[in-house]
Each structure stands twice: as C-alpha cells, then as structure tokens.
Amino acid sequence: MTTSNPTVAVLGLGRMGTAITQRLTDRGWTVTGWTRSGGSDPGPVVRDADVVLLALFDGPAADEVLAACAPHLSTRQVVVNTTTEAPEEATGHEKTVAGTGARYVHAPVLGSVPAVLGGTLTVLVGTSAADLGPADGLLADLGHVLRVGAVTEAAALKLVANSALGGAVLAARDSRRYAEEIGVADDVALEVLGRSALGGIVTRREATFTTAALAKDLRLLVDRAPSARRLADRVAGALETDAVRPDDGLFELTAPATEPAVPPDVLEPLHAYLRGHATGDPAHFRRAFLPTAHVEGLRDGRFVSWGLDEYCSLFSGTPASDEPTRRRRIEHVRVDGTVGTATMTLWHGPDTFTDVLVLVRVQDGWRIANKAYHRATAAQ
C-alpha cells in the first residue's frame, strides 16, 4: 500500500478507468476522475496531479486528450498511458509528453475489471525514464509490473497478448456452440471446458473484453503482423453480419443471428443510452431519446411515467459507485422501415432490468421514442 498521499488524475472513466479509480482510492491515493464525454477542459484536473493516468479506448482518443493536457504538464509530473494503441502511436505520445518536461510511461495492462479491483493486473511497462517517481507505487498497487523495454515494445506486446486472448475466447464460444448442436447442456459443457486447455478463460468468464475492443486491437496488429489477418477477419465478419454486437462480452456470444443486419445508425441511440448509464451523464440520454419520449415501468410497486427531463434528473453526472461490476447488453434489434424495437438487459448490482425500447427515424437520425422496463431484484 502507498505510504504517501500523491494525487492522481484518471482521464477516461469507462469500465477500466472507473475500476482503476476505485482501486487507487482504496489503496490510499487521492484520485480525481475526468471523462471526455463531459466536454470539459482536463486542465484543472491535470495541473494539480502528481500522476496523470490515461485509460482511453484507442490512440486517437489519447492524441486528443494529451493535446489538451500538454499546456498544463510540468517536469514534476508523470504521465502513465494504459491505452491499447499502435507502437508508433505510443512513440508519438512519448514525444508529446517529453516536450512538456514530464516523464512518460506506456503501461498497457493484461486483465479486466475484476483484476483491476483485485490488484492482479499484469502491467507492461515501457519507458525511457530512469525514475518514475510516484508512478512506481501506483503501478505496483495495480498489480504485477513487468518492465519490457521501450514504449514500442510495451504497445506491441499488448497487441500480441490480446490476439491470444481473443483466439482463446472465440474458441470457448465455438465449443459451447458445438455442445449445444449435439445436445449437451451448457452447464455440463462449461464444467468440462473448465478442465480443458480453455480452463482459464472459462473459469474467469472474460466477459468485459468486448468485441469492438478486440476488433480494434486486431486491426492494429494486422498492420504489423499480417499473419493475424485470419483471426481479425473472423471477428470483423461477425460484427459486419450482426452475428455479434460491438458491446457484447466475448464469452457471452451466442449463435449468429438469423435476422437481417441492423444498420449502424440504428445502434447509435442505443450506444448513447448505454453510455448514459455507464457515466451517469444525462447528456447521453438527451442524445438517445426524442424530447417527447417517456420512460415507464413499476418503481417501488407504483407505476411511473417520466418525461425526458424527469428521467434525466435521476442521474448525478458521475458513474455509480459500483459501476465496475455492472454489465449491459443489447439483446435484440429489429427494424421495419422507419421504426424499430430493441431489448436490452442491464445487470446493476442485485437488480436486473429488462428494457424494451421503441425506435423511430427522424430528420437527424434514429432516436428512442419510448422505453418500458421491468426490474427484477435478486433475493438478498
């Protein structure tokens, strides 16, 4: 555990960023979070931090955030970038940070949210800095630190590791599919697979590593290792044919859908809706819903029918305290001309929500016209 109380700015509050924030806070760090979706300047958060940690989706996102941070960085600070990105992107980010006098550490991690919260990540550290200052203790609090050389090596090794994870998870998915086809119960198949070469994947249920993230990482890998194209094409093909959806956890994938592919613009309001729940920022809901939309269901045994303003007022603008453990999945989307329907499942602590959404195409794209929901609470 850290013995001092350095300050940390975590930039990016998705699944991993939120979990990292919780882990470091639990270990005694003073942490301030910042999210790109809020539209605010990261300067005030960055200026006062000893360590600036980036937990972003990809290299372009890191480009944007580092450009905004650069005027506020100084020689006393360390920038730790956990973003999965191409080796040349990591080199560019190192140069950007070096120009400010701050130290740069490229530190992609192996593991997902449970590993973050348990402090069991493997952190691949690439840096030219001789002294990492408070970042040494921070990285140790996240898990096992493996020094791999330069920033390019850390970035490249993360892509290689993700290709292995992706191949194994897809193999586990296929094996479950085969078991279903030959009439073997899924729980029995999982018991056997847990004792096979896929045991680690099956036991961990690596469901927080999404299809979209895997596809992005494999595209980066193929540009540098052409032999990875077969795996990359397989994942890309599943996305293009709607056999899987971008937000699906890999382990949870089922057989390919028999319905026609859903146009990407239909999914935009659904993804905005999911981001609203993940961040607690009502601005995402205003992008997802029509202004006239209503949200209806039973709350504490009483029927409620909220307008959009009333629904948005339920959200504080920050992620829920248990956000790292929450999951959401788009189950079904059907489009008929200018209207559509979608169902989602949201696992929020002991509560499981089933959302039924009505979609409509309007002048500026697809929006959610109405939502009805059912809430089921597990016995405590």
Question: Rounded mean pLDDT of 103-110?
Answer: 95
pLDDT at 120 over 70: yes
Which of 44-53, 218-227, 304-313 comes out lowest in average pLDDT?
Answer: 218-227
- C-alpha 178/C-alpha 189 separation (Å) is 10
Looking at the fold, whether 205 and 243 belong to one and the same domain comes out as yes
**Domain harbouring 352, CATH code:** 3.10.450.50
Question: Rounded mean pLDDT of 146-166?
Answer: 90
Looking at the fold, whether 139 and 187 belong to one and the same domain comes out as no
Q: How many domains does the chain have?
A: 3
pLDDT tens across 323-365, in order?
877 888 888 888 888 999 999 998 998 899 999 999 999 988 9
Residue 171, pLDDT score? 75
pLDDT at 239 over 80: no
Question: Which tops the pLDDT comparison, 36 or 91?
Answer: 91
Query: Tokens representing 182?
Result: 């030959």
**Domain harbouring 178, CATH code:** 1.10.1040.10
Q: How confident is the model at residue 380 (pLDDT cuts 50, 70, 90)?
A: very low
Residue 235, pLDDT score? 65
Average pLDDT, the chain: 84
Are 83 and 39 a contacting pair, CB within 8 Å?
A: no
pLDDT tens across 348-358, in order?
988 999 999 99
Which of 58-67, 252-261, 295-304 comes out lowest in average pLDDT?
Answer: 252-261
pLDDT at 238 over 90: no
- Asked if residue 218 belongs to a domain, the reply is yes
Last residue of one domain, picked from the residues 148, 178, 206:
148
- C-alpha 255/C-alpha 251 separation (Å) is 12
Residue 210, pLDDT score? 59
Question: Which tops the pLDDT comparison, 331 or 200?
Answer: 331
Question: Rounded mean pLDDT of 172-186?
Answer: 80
Looking at the fold, whether 98 and 126 belong to one and the same domain comes out as yes
Residue 201, pLDDT score? 60
Question: Rounded mean pLDDT of 195-222?
Answer: 66
- Asked if residue 334 belongs to a domain, the reply is yes
Last residue of one domain, picked from the residues 226, 252, 278:
252
Element (H, E) at 354: strand 351-362
Residue 66 structural domain: 7-148
Looking at the fold, whether 143 and 170 belong to one and the same domain comes out as no
Question: Which tops the pLDDT comparison, 261 or 283?
Answer: 283
Looking at the fold, whether 137 and 160 belong to one and the same domain comes out as no
- Asked if residue 1 belongs to a domain, the reply is no
Looking at the fold, whether 177 and 243 belong to one and the same domain comes out as yes
Question: Which tops the pLDDT comparison, 2 or 42?
Answer: 42
Looking at the fold, whether 130 and 247 belong to one and the same domain comes out as no
- Asked if residue 160 belongs to a domain, the reply is yes
Looking at the fold, whether 40 and 137 belong to one and the same domain comes out as yes
**Domain harbouring 68, CATH code:** 3.40.50.720
Looking at the fold, whether 230 and 293 belong to one and the same domain comes out as no
Residue 94, sorted as left (phi over 0), alpha (psi -120 to 50) or beta, turns out to be alpha
Looking at the fold, whether 111 and 224 belong to one and the same domain comes out as no
Contacts of 188 (CB under 8 A, 6+ apart): 179
Residue 175, pLDDT score? 80
pLDDT at 3 over 50: no
Residue 204, pLDDT score? 52
Residue 320, pLDDT score? 87
Looking at the fold, whether 11 and 129 belong to one and the same domain comes out as yes
Residue 40, pLDDT score? 84
Which of 64-78, 190-204, 333-347 comes out lowest in average pLDDT?
Answer: 190-204
Query: Tokens representing 356?
Result: 């039924």
- Asked if residue 2 belongs to a domain, the reply is no
Cα 189–Cα 191–Cα 196 angle in degrees, nearest 5: 90
- Asked if residue 275 belongs to a domain, the reply is yes
Query: Tokens representing 299?
Result: 């709350």
Largest Cα separation within the chain, whole Å, is 63
pLDDT tens across 270-321, in order?
988 988 998 899 999 999 999 999 999 998 889 999 999 999 999 999 988 8
Looking at the fold, whether 38 and 128 belong to one and the same domain comes out as yes
Question: Which tops the pLDDT comparison, 224 or 264?
Answer: 224
Q: How confident is the model at residue 232 (pLDDT cuts 50, 70, 90)?
A: confident
Question: Which tops the pLDDT comparison, 177 or 66?
Answer: 66
Are 18 and 323 a contacting pair, CB within 8 Å?
A: yes
- Asked if residue 257 belongs to a domain, the reply is no
- Asked if residue 259 belongs to a domain, the reply is no
